[in-house]
Structure 1
């Protein structure tokens, strides 16, 4: 099934007020853009290094979430753009 098909199927199965966070871990910028082009705007990442590499290369209206544990010394790297 395509990214669009997966997103559409998921949106049909949850209430309209539920926000879907697409996990971008291990996915390329092209794959993230495919989901973005299918109206997905909320993404979650669990690795600071990957998030720092992806965030400046992708559209600015993406709402980024950090999922998982975060070491105190890495907060400063993602605090400006994380939700």
Structure 2
């Protein structure tokens, strides 16, 4: 949009500003969101020492406490 504004396109065609912004945002949402969801793993692990103190206590009370736990990031 800054590029089009510097070139004078938005001054010559002021009506194109809103449809162009909506179109660009829609395009990016349609393609960038699934791409980013595909790039980063959905399941991740975290060390017990990085958890909240209350959760650390619960995990450490288990018979065989793990060193890390897994979680689903969700969308």
TM-score by length of 1: 0.22
Greater per-residue helix proportion: 2
